[in-house]
Amino acid sequence: MRDAEDSRPLRPPAHVAVIMDGNGRWAKSRGLPRTAGHKKGVDAVRRTVEAAGDLGIGYLTIFSFSSENWRRPEEEVSDLMQLLRFYLRSEIADLHRNGVRLRVIGDRARLSKDIVGLIDNAENLTRDNRKLTLVVALSYGSRQEITLAARRLAEEVRAGTLDPADISEDRLSERLFTADIPDPDLIVRTSGEKRISNFLLWQAAYAELVFVDTLWPDFSKRDLEAAIEEFHRRERRFGATTGTR
């Protein structure tokens, strides 16, 4: 991946987040059950993690299961949880060997105890790895996350440990699931949909958004590189202006 005007490699964004969309449509277009699309989606996760490591990305966040996904048919949710178990058991050794740190953000209270145990073990095993941090948003909803952070601030005020006048953006950020994770520079959504679906709403304030038509099971390293190339074509202003519009 190089700049079109010179031979120097493009510097990757520090943090790329991906809304993985299109598993169901991928399966439907092939006359397969949705589960087949989700299984192929796991392959795309594996490719993308490897690509992110190769490209020098520091943080990769994937939106794997939203708080709203709990409303899907019970059989589909059960299949997704089984896939999650499979991933946590079969992939963690490879992630660890390749220097990937795993972080899981979201509401763990709705997950079964065995899955929470697998997550804890995976996070503990990989906690010192530094090549890439893979953040998995699981049972995650951004409005819920912000609400919980606001509630924590309110509880501190009620306890007398925080003055309301001292509440700031930084203090709220420190109470989010992503407190020690940098905000994303680039958010990619697959499948052609153009919305962010309650994903990292606070953290995405100045992220560049790139929407691609590729269905998630077909997402490749080249798709990731193309999104990064589009990122580099943007002029990032962070709320400032340059005098022209």
Binding-site annotation, residues for Mg(2+): 21, 208
Q: For the ranges 161-170, 195-204, 208-217, 233-242, which has the lowest average pLDDT?
A: 233-242
Q: Is residue 155 part of a domain?
A: no
Q: Is residue 27 part of a domain?
A: yes
Residue 181's pLDDT band (cuts 50, 70, 90): very high
Binding-site annotation, residues: 21-26, 34, 38, 66-68, 70, 72, 189, 195-197, 208
Q: Is residue 137 part of a domain?
A: yes
Q: Is residue 245 part of a domain?
A: no
CATH number where 214 lies: 3.40.1180.10
For residues 116 and 240, what is the distance between their CA atoms, to the nearest angstrom? 43
Assigned token pair, 52: 């992110």
Q: Is residue 193 part of a domain?
A: yes
Domain count, the chain: 1
Q: Is residue 131 part of a domain?
A: yes
Q: Is residue 170 part of a domain?
A: no
Assigned token pair, 183: 């905000």
Q: Flag whether pLDDT at 237 surpasses 60.
A: yes
- What is the arithmetic mean of pLDDT over 16-32? 97
DSSP 1: -
Binding-site annotation, residues for substrate: 22-26, 34, 38, 66-68, 70, 72, 189, 195-197
Range of the domain at 70: 15-149+182-233
- Tell whether the torsion through CA atoms of 192, 194, 198 and 199 is positive or negative: positive
- Tell me what pLDDT residue 236 has: 75
Catalytic residue numbers, as ranges: 21, 69
Q: Is residue 29 part of a domain?
A: yes
**Residue among 15, 7, 46 at smallest CA distance from 221:** 46
Whole-structure pTM value: 0.92
- What is the arithmetic mean of pLDDT over 209-214? 98
For residues 78 and 90, what is the distance between their CA atoms, to the nearest angstrom? 18
